[in-house]
């Protein structure tokens, strides 16, 4: 599933073609994805200007001139691609429709934005912008890891007396929003913290040190256009390349990259997910 850097990369790509532009027409080619589309979604989108395109956790939010917000979740395999942008940001001609093109936005500037999702784990919703933070998917989220509300004291307080492994704690979207398996593995490696450690047993100083490392890993991934594993592509159809910088994720059985370490990267399963780490460097 795309994590925060991938979703942010897509949002930035879509902004060039969609923000400040009217949705001339919307095609909704099936009744549902992960759950049913909102009633009359195509009619409610048609003629509306996208005043701002923002991100909350792993969701893209388009605030419309109608006073509603369009929520988009890419799911496991969802892709949003842009074609025909007259401003020259996207050189692709409009492609022929594909089987899994479930929603198509025809923009007034000539761009076409297509949501393609073979596995149909993605989702869209429409709700009043004024009460967006009360939406069931957004109200449970913790602070953004790149925002001011995610700071050392927040993480220290969240980890206090917590008996779950630190890996699970960082994947808890109520503690910090948008972190996923890849970037937690990478951040823990850089911080020298074992994914096996109980969150509540890590010293406050080591917990505090996680915050800037998490920010650094995420920012580097965004700068690299995200990590392209399986289905992920940017809005212009290009691949991200942060996967070439992985220190531990997906490197089971390979040598640790820390100079002089000599240990092999291990993989364990935690809460049904793979954790990659160096047992010598991470304590």
Residues labelled as active-site residues = 2-3, 58, 273
Core vs surface per residue 180-209: b (16+ CB within 10 A) or e: bbbbbbbbbbbbebbbbbebeebeeebbeb
How many C-beta neighbours within 10 Å does residue 213 have? 17
3-state secondary structure of 238: coil
3-state secondary structure of 223: helix
**Distance, CA of 134 to CA of 144 (rounded, Å):** 16
Burial class (CB in 10 A: 0-12, 13-18, 19+), 112: buried
Q: Which helix (H) or strand (E) holds 104?
A: strand 101-107
- Judge whether 30 and 90 are in contact, CB under 8 Å: no
First to last CA, the chain: 28
Q: Name residues whose C-beta falls within 8 Å of residue 223's C-beta, 6 or more positions apart in sequence.
A: none
Per the document, the length of the chain is: 283
């Amino acid at each position: 599933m795309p994590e925060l850097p991938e979703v942010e990369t897509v949002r930035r790509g879509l902004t060039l073609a969609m923000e400040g532009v009217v949705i001339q027409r919307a095609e909704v080619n099936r009744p549902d994805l992960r759950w049913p589309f909102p009633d009359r979604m195509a009619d409610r989108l048609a003629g509306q200007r996208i005043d701002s395109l923002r991100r909350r956790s792993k969701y893209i939010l388009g605030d419309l001139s109608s006073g509603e917000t369009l929520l988009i979740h890419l799911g496991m395999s969802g892709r949003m691609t842009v074609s025909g942008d007259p401003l020259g940001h996207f050189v692709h001609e409009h492609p022929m429709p594909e089987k899994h093109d479930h929603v198509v936005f025809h923009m007034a500037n000539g761009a076409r934005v297509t949501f393609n999702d073979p596995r149909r784990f993605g989702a869209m919703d429409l709700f009043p912008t004024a009460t967006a933070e009360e939406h069931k998917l957004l109200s449970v989220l913790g602070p953004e890891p790149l925002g001011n509300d995610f700071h050392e004291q927040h993480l220290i307080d969240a980890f206090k007396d917590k008996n779950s492994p630190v890996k699970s704690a960082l994947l808890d979207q109520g503690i910090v929003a948008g972190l996923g398996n890849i970037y937690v593995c990478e951040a823990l490696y850089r911080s020298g913290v074992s994914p096996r450690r109980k969150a509540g047993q890590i010293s406050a100083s080591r917990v505090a040190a996680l915050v800037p490392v998490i920010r650094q890993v995420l920012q580097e991934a965004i700068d690299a256009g995200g990590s392209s594993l399986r289905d992920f592509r940017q809005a212009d159809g290009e691949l991200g390349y942060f996967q070439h910088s992985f220190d531990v994720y997906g490197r089971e059985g390979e040598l640790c990259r820390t100079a002089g370490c000599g240990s092999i990267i291990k993989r364990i399963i935690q809460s049904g997910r793979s954790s990659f780490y160096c047992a010598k460097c991470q304590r």
